[in-house]
Amino acid sequence: MDPATLVGILLAFGALYAMITLEHASVEALLLPAPMILVFGATLAIGIAGGTLKDFLVAVKAVPPAMKGKTVPPQDTIDSVVVLAEKARSEGLLALEEEANTVKDPFLRGALQNIADGTDGEELREILEDEIDSASQTHRTAAKFFASLGGYAPTVGIIGTVVSLTHVLENLSSPDKLGPMIAAAFVATLWGLLSANFLWLPIGTRIKRLGEMETARMTLLMEGVLAVQAGSQPRLLGERLKAMVPQHAQGKGKAGKDGKDGGKGAKGSKGSGEAITAQGKAAA
């Protein structure tokens, strides 16, 4: 789990609380129900109105995974592909059908099944690229929804402030009440800016980033299984896949912590099945 988003949001609100405390202000003065209902309710409503209900549901479903931030280390993916390459070289491509039955990752499972069924390499590449594009589009839809909320929220906050100031002007005959009323009027603008920059935009950016990482993982798998189908030498395949991973993202996966080649296949199908199943669980 990568808690970056949760930690970042908590630190942001913590900094806000620190400022309120140092300014000797009152937190309760900011927790006014009326402006909060307007900002959060109207922002969500406008976001839904700007797309479809399916877009909204896709965005909602993307939030829990974004908060958890579970990702598969590139080295684990490479190790799994190398194991598959060794199994294919020693037992033939038909042996990959047995591996497909133990894999939980639907993308890898489908690729292995197609290889075992004798699908042509170019046709398989087209199928896998279409699946990657489809998954990428889902992430983009969710990220775009939250980015749109980040754009709407400040404007909705200003609308709330204008409405409150209109009420203030109706009570000019009570000067003693003007101060608190004007202060309360700007709470709507505050929550519009806070929700946009502390919630909606970070969540949208997080979903976009995780989508990019998932696309990169699927692309790595695609190139790997296509090379396995073509009969690539396992060690060279591992080096080629590693070269596809940016330097900052390279690291030791679970199978490579001891410095050994994670694709070592001396243990047979049991070892490969455990490696691939572990990757499928992390990707789910």
- Residue closest to 242 by CA, chosen among 79, 70, 72: 79
pLDDT for 159: 94
pLDDT for 134: 93
pLDDT for 263: 38
pLDDT for 219: 94
For residues 226, 218, 97, 275, the Cα torsion angle rounded to the nearest 10 degrees is: 110
pTM value surpassing 0.75? yes
pLDDT for 271: 43
pLDDT for 152: 96
pLDDT for 212: 93
- Taking the chain (284 residues) in runs of 10, the rounded mean pLDDT of each run is 89 94 87 92 95 94 90 88 90 84 88 89 93 94 96 95 85 73 87 95 95 93 92 90 84 48 40 46 48
| CA 160 centroid distance within chain | 32
CA–CA dist 155, 159 (Å, integer): 6
pLDDT for 116: 86
Tokens read off for 229: 């189908």
pLDDT for 252: 59
